[in-house]
A and B are shown apart, each in its own frame.
Chain A
Amino acid sequence: MIKINKRIVSEHGISEDEFKLIKEILQREPNLLELGIFSVMWSEHCSYKSTKKWLKTLPTSGEKVICGPGENAGIIDIGDNEAIVFKMESHNHPSFIEPYQGAATGVGGIMRDVFTMGARPIANLNSLRFGSPKHPKTKQLLSGVIKGIGDYGNCVGIPTVGGECDFHESYNNNILVNAMCIGLVKKNKIFYSIAKGSGNPIIYVGAKTGRDGIHGATMASAEFDDHSEDSRPQVQVGDPFMEKLLLESCQELMKEDAIIAIQDMGAAGLTSSSFEMASKGSCGVKLFLDKVPCREDKMTPYEMMLSETQERMLMVIKPSKIKSTLRVFKKWGLEAAEIGVITKTGNMEIFFNNSLVGNLPIKPLADSSPEYDRPSEKPFIKFKKENHKNFSIKSALIKIISSPNHSSKKWIYHQYDRSVMCDTYFSSEQSDSAVIRVHNSSKAIAVTCDCNPIYCNSDPKLGAEIGVAESWRNLIASGAEPIAITDNLNFGNPEKKEIMYQIKEAIKGIKTACEALNYPVVSGNVSLYNETKNKSIFPTPVIGGVGVIKNISRSKGLRMNEGDKIFIVGNSHGHLELSEFNRICNKNYGSPPPLDLKEEIKNGTFVRNFMKKHNSIVTGCHDISEGGIILALAELAIRNEKGLNIKIPSNVKNSKNWLFGEDQSRYLLIVNNEDIIKKVAKKENIKLQEIATVGGDKFCIIKKFEISVKKLIKYNNIWFENFIET
C-alpha cells in the first residue's frame, strides 16, 4: 500500500489545511483511493470552493422556476404541463489541449446533463472564444473545436442552432468552449438525482470504463504551463453514437416506472455521481468495483473511481424493475451492470476483490467541502499606448463587417446540422436569438448566449449587467418573454486578488440585472484558472438566456420588406468608449456604456407589447449592440439582401458617435405602418426615431455615402473564407 506523504497530497491539489480537515473528518489518514476521491470532490470544478459564497447571493427562484441550481440542470415551466431543462457548461482546458475531442465531449456532457432529467434535448448552442487570428494556434483550434461540436451534435441528431464566436488575444493560450443545451420534458416526468431506498440496486450503463480523463476535474482546476499539452491523456474521447444509444434507451426506460434516481458520470466520473446521488438522498452506498465494466485490463479501484470515460450513467432502480431495465439496455446494445446497492449507513463503502478498499462518510465529505472568502482587490488596468487611427464612416463600417468578430460565421454554422428534428424556426444568424418550436404546438422557445469580455475587463460588474441585459433584449427582439438564465463564469486564478475582484463584481452585476429584470439564474457553471504562464483571460461571464414565445408567428427574426420603415427605440447618446469603432481606432480604454435597468425594462416592455398587439405591422426586430446603429442596420441589409436609405436625424451633432455609439437598451423595429408605432410610442413616452426606409440594392446613408449591398455581403464573407483557406 502506498504511504501518503506531503508530495502525494500536493500532487492531488489538496492544501495542507484541507488535508488536516480530511484527517479530522475521517479521524485517521486516508488511503490513496480515498485521497483521490477527496481531491476530485473538493476540486474547484466540483466544489465551487472559491465562488460558492458569492453564487449563493444570486436570485434563483421565481414563479416559473421548477428547479434551480444544484441539480444536473435548471428547469422552467412553460405551461401546458411542459418544462424546459437547460444548462451551460465549459470545456475550456480539454479543448485547448485537444480541440476536437475536448469540444465534442463538452457537447456530450451538457446533453447528458439535460437528458438525465428526463428531457429530450431539442437544441444546442455554444459560446466560443479564441485567441488572436494571428496567433499560430488559432486556426487549428478553431477548426478542431467547430468540427468537434458539429460531429457530436450532428451524429446524436440534436440541432446546433446558435451561439457566438469571438477572437481576442487574451485567449491566445486559453480558449473558451462553453456548450449549452436545452431540452423539453413533461412536467410530471422530470427525473432527479436523489438516491432513495435502502436495498435498491445501483445500475451502471453505457461505455466501459477506461483510463481516460483520470483527474480531468483536477486539471480543470489548475493553471496551464508549457507542459500542459503533456496532459493529453487526461482529455476524454467522445463517442456520439454511444450517447445516442444512451439517450434513446433512457427515454425508453423513463416511460416505465423504473428509475428512482439518475445521474450522468461527468467530471470526476463514478466518484461524483455516486457521492452526489447519495448525499442528496442522505443515504449510504456500497459499490462493488469488480462489477464495473472495464475497457482495460487490471484497472485499480483508484482508476475506476476517478476515470472520466464519457457516455456513462448511474441510476438507482426499483428492484422489481431490474429485468425490464436490463432488457431495454440490451435492445440498444448497451452494457449495463448492477454495481452497488443503497444502504442506510451514510457511508460510501467501496469493495474490490471482496475487501473493503475505501470507506468514507458521504455527508461530511460533500457538506464540509471548503468554502473560501478569498481576498480581492480592484486591479489597475494599464493601457498600452498605441497610435490612434482615424476612419471615415464608410471605411470604419467596412473594417468592422469584415473583421474576425463581425464577419459572417457561415463557415461555422454550415458545419452544424440546424434542421434535424424539424423544429428550428430561426437559427441564430436569422434572428437575435435562436427560436425552436415546441414540438407539436404553436409555442416556441427562444435562446441566446451573450457576453462582452471587453466591457467586463474594464468594469466586471457593469459588463456582466450588460451581458444579462443583452440576452434579455435578444429574447425580446425575437418576440419572446424572457424567463431565466444559465451562466458560465470563465475567469483566471481566484487565488489572485484582482481575479477574485473580477469574479465578485461580475456575480454582483449578474445579481443586480437578474433581480431588476425578474430573470433568475437556474443553473450554471464556473471555470477558473483560465490562465497560462500567469496571464489571465479577460473575465468572461457568459449568459445563456431562455424565453418563451406563446405563438410562434409572433417571432419575426431579422426580416424586412421593401417599403418598410425602420425605427430606433431608446435613447442614443453616442457612447464610443470601448466600442467596436474605438477599438479599430486603437483606442482600447475607457468604460462600457452606462446601463439604466429601468429604461431597459421600459423599452423592452414596449417592444414586446407592440410586437404582441400589432403583430401584423411588425416585419422584424433587431437589438442594437456592438457596432451601434450602423452595424445593426448593415446586418439587416446583409441578411435580407436588400437596400436601405438611412437618414441621420437633423439634430444629431456628431454622426460618427451617433452611428457607432453602443448605448444600451435600444432596438431597431421594422414596421410596415409608421403611424401606429409613432402613436403608441408617444402615448407610452418612449423615445422613437425614424432612421431608414427599406428599398433598392444600396446601403445608403443620405448625404454621407452609399455602397451596394452586394459589396457589403462580399466584405462580410471575405475574412473567414481567407482565414480558413490560406
Chain B
Amino acid sequence: MPKKVVSIVVFPGSNCDRDLDIAVQKYMNVNTELVWHDDPNIKNQEMIFIPGGFSFGDYLRSGALATKSPAMKEVIRLSKKGVPIIGICNGFQILTECKLLDGALIDNCKRLFICKENFVKIENKNTPFTKNIHKNVVQFPIAHAQGRFYTSEDNLKRLEDNNQIVFKYSSRDGKINKSENPNGSMNNIAGIINKNKNILGLMPHPERAVNFSEDNDGISFFRGLQNLL
C-alpha cells in the first residue's frame, strides 16, 4: 500500500518546516507535501501541519500576515470539515490569528526570546493528538519571543470546562507552578485544542525532540498521531 501523504504549509520565513518534515516522515511513516503559501489548493487532506518560524518576518504581529495567504484560507475551510490540523510555535500563533483557536500569544513576560528545554504536562490525554502518548510529562524545547498564552477570564474558564487545555508547562514530575512557567502564560498553558478536537496548537517543539536518542519524547508524539490517519 502506498504511504499516506500529509501536508505542511510553508510560508516565506517559516524555518521549522524542514525539521518538521523529517520528523513527520520518519515517525508517522507517511510522505509529505510541502504546500507553498500562495497555493489555494491543498490536495492531501489527511492532516495539515503549520510549522514554526517567522512567517513574513512576523513584522505585524506573529502570525498575522500569514492568515491572509491563499493556503491558509483553504486550511480554514478544511478545518470546518474536521481535517486534523496541528500548528507548532508560529503555527500556533497563526491558528489563533485565524481564530481557529482561542486566545492570543503575546510577548513573553520578560519581553525576551527564550530557548530552553522544558517539561510539559499532558493535561488532557483524551484527545486524538495525545491519547497514544504513554508518559504524563514530556520534554520538548521551546524557542519563542511571543508565546505567552492570553485570553479573557471567561474564555479561560470555557477552555478549562471543555477540557481544551492539552499541554501545560510543568516541572519534571508534573508540578504546575509559577517557577516552571517560562513565559508568563495564563495557567502555564502551552497548548490547546478547539472545541471539535480537530485542531491543536502548541508552543513547544516536538519536532526538535526526536534526535540523538530513541527515548526522546517527540518520537512518541509523532508516532501517536498515526492513529488519526
* Interface set of A (CB-CB < 8 Å, partner B): 147, 150-151, 154-157, 239-242, 244-245, 248, 331-333, 413-423, 425, 437
Contact = CB atoms under 8 A, between A and B. Distances in A.
A244 B15 contact: yes
A41 B181 CA distance: 52
**When A and B form their complex, which 10 residue pairs have the shortest distance between CB atoms, in order from nearest?**
A157-B15, A241-B57, A155-B54, A417-B143, A419-B141, A422-B19, A419-B208, A417-B115, A415-B113, A422-B211
A155 B13 contact: yes
Nearest to B112: A415
Nearest to B116: A414
B12 A154 contact: no
B123 interface: no
Contacts of A414: 112-116
Given A155-B57, A422-B208, 18 more contacts: A147-B113, A150-B113, A154-B54, A154-B115, A155-B13, A156-B15, A157-B16, A241-B57, A244-B54, A244-B57, A245-B12, A413-B115, A415-B114, A415-B115, A417-B115, A417-B143, A419-B143, A422-B22
Given A333-B12, A419-B208, A241 B54 contact: yes
A420 B208 contact: yes
B102 interface: no
Contacts of A245: 12-13
Interface in B117-175: 141, 143, 145
Nearest to A425: B212
B56 interface: yes
Contacts of B141: 419
A580 B144 CA distance: 36
B177 to A, nearest CB: 19
Nearest to B20: A422
B19 A421 contact: yes
Nearest to A333: B12
A69 B114 CA distance: 36
A417 B113 contact: yes
Nearest to B15: A157
Given A154-B113, A415-B113, A420 B16 contact: yes
Nearest to B143: A417
Contacts of A248: 12
A239 B22 CA distance: 28
A414 B58 CA distance: 20
A425 B207 CA distance: 15
Contacts of A425: 212
A623 to B, nearest CB: 23
Given A241-B56, A416-B115, A417-B113, A422 B13 contact: no
Given A244-B54, A333-B12, A419 B114 contact: no
**Most chain B beta-carbon neighbours within 10 Å: one of A155, A413, A420:** A420
A240 B57 contact: yes
Contacts of B105: none
A414 B210 CA distance: 21
A418 B141 CA distance: 10
Nearest to A244: B13
B197 to A, nearest CB: 29
A248 B13 CA distance: 9
Nearest to A120: B18
A310 to B, nearest CB: 14
B209 to A, nearest CB: 9
